[in-house]
Structure 1
Amino acid sequence: MKVSALEIPITRTNQSRLPEVDFNNLPFGSVFSDHMFLADYYDGAWQDARVVPYGPLSLEPAAKVFHYGQEVFEGMKAYKDKEGQVWLFRPLENQRRLNKSASRLMIPELPEAIFMEGLKTLLRTDSDWIPTVAGSSLYIRPFLFASGNGFHASPSDRYTFVIATAPSGAYFAGEVHVRIEEKYSRAANGGVGYAKAGGNYAGQFYPTQLAKEAGFQQVIWTDDNTHEYIEEAGAMNIFVRIGDTLLTSPTSDRILDGITRKSILELAEAEGIPTEVRKISVSEIVEASKKGQLKEMFGAGTAAVVSPISGYGYRDERFDLPEVADSYATFFKKRITDIQYNRSEDPFGWRYPVS
């Protein structure tokens, strides 16, 4: 199904909320732009693509998303350079991953044309909402959910696709200390851990709160079977630097195939940084800490890009990470954000212009 920008009707808001926004003091993901993009699936096809004012969605109590959790989402950002040009970062990777998540939850896949043309139409409509303050961006949340009705446990016959946006400042601030989790699991083999399904994140909140009560900001998840191997850091992929070698866990049924993760691995290869994608045991990390060989740990994801970890706790021990002059975390964050904001060349073809 081909959808061009000219075929997407736009209903503009009567009064913009833009004058109310302090772009110098933006929280993350809680101030919303004037418009949103919608499309509906019914009668076996995606249709009715449109841009409308941002506002409540009307659903019946029997909507299946409430009862059986058919919902998946993505996280993206739009950037504006000094000349006012708007850019996306590897958006087709998000579109493909959204469909991978949708297939796992028996949600109809979304045509690329609807995703991309809807996104570009929305960004052109709300271009003034894209921040130009350093470190800020327009966070983009595409999501799919079951909007059909029924209490019977079966896939819905109707779905809704939404793209909403929020001008946002930095995701994390300050030092981040994490606890290596030994009891609770983020995901299991054969499950939906690799999908960006809302339930994956809901299940994280309780153990993360327990970690916060113990003095940590986040959790490092371990494998569901033995809890011997680290897998993710909070809602991000995790990287570990032992000596000069960069390590990260392989993707699996349990681990999200992060776009920032892919980008870091490609950058590392291009820069000749030694990299290993393999299982990383907790004991290896603890031993490296005690020997002074653990130089860095950091999370990687769309919201934070790269989030350095200052220290971690395991059982009754706590370990601080050193400050290193040649930080990989700092290097990767700068290289990626320079590409995103059009401050440098893009030899990988990751930057996508919104004309």
Structure 2
Amino acid sequence: MAADGTDSTDIPFERIPHPAPVPGATRDQALADPGFGSLFSDHMVQIDWTEGRGWHSHRVGPREPIALDPATSVLHYAQEIFEGMKAYRQDNGDIALFRPEANAARFNNSGARLAMPPIPEADFLAAVREQVLADRDWFPSLEGGSLYLRPFMFASEAFLGVRPAKEYKFLVIASPVGGYFKSGAPAVSIWVSEDYIRAAPGGTGDAKCGGNYAASLVPQAEAIAKGYDQVVFLDAVERKWIEELGGMNLFFVFDDGRILTPPLTGTILPGITRDSLITLAREEGLDVVEERYSLERWREDAQSGKLLETMACGTAAVVTPVGKVGGRDGEFTIGGGSAGQMTAKLREKLVGIQRGTIEDRHGWVTKIG
């Protein structure tokens, strides 16, 4: 049910039969160890938008290549947005989504920033539901596995000219996934990028668009080359305030019981996992503050022991401890370089709600089958 009362299950979809789905034995073998983002399910959902007609041609069918004219707008002017969300197989066998309405709202906020038409929440939710039900046999068998969902939209009109397109395509694809990080370390390591920025005030930092991630690839490669798992960005103006990783938000846990996370000022993506953790931490009676936090203070607090934990969070990585931070001025360790108690506690509670082993008191979980 969408926020406006529209029942997403009533939206009609054309269901196109798949002529050659992956054989069950082949699929099951791949699902035993799917990795992250490299294995894809059989189907995809498509909905079209045309100026003067709106959204139309709802369909779910075989996952297949998309034919594009060389002049297709997205290839030249980058009108493209996406979401990252997961479907979970709960312990009782139910299939559930976690806060899909929040993904729909963020998707449309991203679209508004890139001059793209909003998709009704009911259509977004119905598309995700159709995708999951079409590929319900693609849930990984390994512990903690899930079905990662990628709703995305791009400008599909063929034209050359700097203006919003008059045609768009909305699609959903699915990827069975395991854990995001493969290092095997108890906590991830982070490199501070001081030569590159992720976003500037007035830019697209709070929109989930491909250009933001493209801009993070060079500094991310720099971090990997230096032996670190991820890169963290500073603000664009003073180059001193911690913002976010290439695709995750950050929290800082102190010895006085406070938890701090950088504020959403337009240059940081408003993470749904971030918002959920703030709620869960406050339920534990913790003082969660949204304040700016400098690289200098981060180093000082870690070295003095005032900072107990740093955790990164996002749909893909869930909640992940940060154990080591490196930059131009050397390296420092947080909490002995291992996972902390608060990180483990919040992760356990969040995952428990998603998996159905802990009571959902917020209406975050939507069961779809």
TM-score range, shorter chain: over 0.9
Of residues 309-318 and 266-275 in structure 1, the stretch that sits farther from structure 2 once superposed is: 309-318
1:226 has 2:238 as partner = yes
- Using the TM superposition, give the Cα deviation of residue 89 of structure 1 relative to its aligned residue in structure 2, in angstroms: 0.1
**Counterpart residue number, 1:252:** 265
Distance 1:127 1:234 in 2: 30
Q: Does 1:30 align with 2:38?
A: yes
Partner of 1:279: 292
Match of 2:361 in 1: 347
The answer to whether the Cα contact below 8 Å between 1:79 and 1:131 also exists between their aligned partners in 2 is no
Q: Which residues of 2 match residues 61-80 of structure 1 at below 5 A?
A: 61-80=70-89
Q: Give the deviation of 1:287 after TM superposition.
A: 1.1
Question: Across the two proteins, how many residue pairs are aligned to each other?
Answer: 355
- In structure 1, the residue matched to 2:222 is 210
Letter in 1 for 2:292: K
1:310 aligns with 2:323: yes
Deviation at 1:257, TM superposition (A): 0.5
Partners in 2 of 1:36 and 1:116 — Cα distance?
14
User: Cα distance, 1:3 vs. partner?
Assistant: 6.4
| Counterpart selection for 2:195 from 170, 179, 183 | 183
2:92 and 2:131 map into 1 onto residues whose CA distance is 20
| Counterparts in 2 of 1:134 and 1:106: CA distance versus 1, 3 Å | same
Instruction: Among all aligned residue pairs of Structure 1 and Structure 2, give the percentage whose two residues are the same amino acid.
Output: 38
- Within 2, Cα distance between the matches of 1:325 and 1:129? 31
Can you give the 5+ residue segments of structure 1 that lack an aligned partner in the other structure? none
Matches within 5 A, 1:304-343: 304-323=317-336, 327-343=341-357
Shift of 1:4: 4.4
Within the candidate set 97, 101, 122, 1:113 is matched to: 122
Amino acid paired to 1:53: P
CA contact (8 A) 1:12 1:35 kept: no
**What is the CA-CA distance between 1:5 and the residue it aligns to?**
4.7
Q: Offset at 1:326?
A: 5.4
1:12 aligned partner: 17
Runs of 4+ in structure 1 over 3 Å off: 1-6, 323-326
CA distance in 1: counterparts of 2:34 and 2:223, whole angstroms: 27
CA shift, 1:133, in A, is 2.8
Cα 1:66/1:152, change in 2 over 3 Å: same
Supply the distance in 2 between the matched residues of 1:274 and 1:123 (Cα, whole angstroms). 37
In the superposition, relative to structure 1, how do residues 42 and 336 fare at CA in structure 2: closer, same or farther (>3 Å)? same
Correspondence 1:281-300 to 2 at 5 A? 281-300=294-313
Aligned to 2:178: 169
Q: Which moved more, 1:210-219 or 1:134-143?
A: 210-219
> Could you report, residue by residue, the CA deviation over 1:107-139 in whole angstroms, capped at 9, with x for unpaired residues?
100011211112112211211112343110000
- Give the residue type in structure 2 aligned to 1:19: A
Q: Secondary structure of 1:256's partner?
A: coil
Q: Which amino acid counterpart does residue 40 of structure 1 have in structure 2?
A: D
Q: Does 1:43 align with 2:55?
A: no
Aligned partner of 2:296: which letter? S
SS at match of 1:113: helix
Gaps of 5+ in 2: 1-5
Give the RMSD, CA atoms, in angstroms: 1.6
1:134 aligned to 116, 139, 143, which one? 143
Larger deviation: 182-191 or 23-32?
23-32
The residue matched to 1:183 in structure 2 has which SS? coil
Aligned to 2:108: 99
For the residue of structure 2 that corresponds to 1:134, the secondary structure is coil
- The superposition leaves residues 276-307 of structure 1 with CA deviations (integer Å, 9 ceiling, x where unpaired) of 11001111111112212221111110001112
CA contact (8 A) 2:157 2:165 kept: yes
Q: Does 1:264 align with 2:270?
A: no
User: Which shows bigger deviation, 120-129 or 101-110?
Assistant: 120-129
Contact map agreement 1:37 1:164 (CA 8 A) in 2: yes
Between the aligned partners of 1:132 and 1:78, the Cα distance in structure 2 is 14
**More deviation, 332-341/256-265:** 332-341
Letter of the structure 2 residue corresponding to residue 10 of structure 1: R
The whole-number CA distance in structure 1 between the counterparts of 2:104 and 2:356 is 22
Match of 2:62 in 1: 53
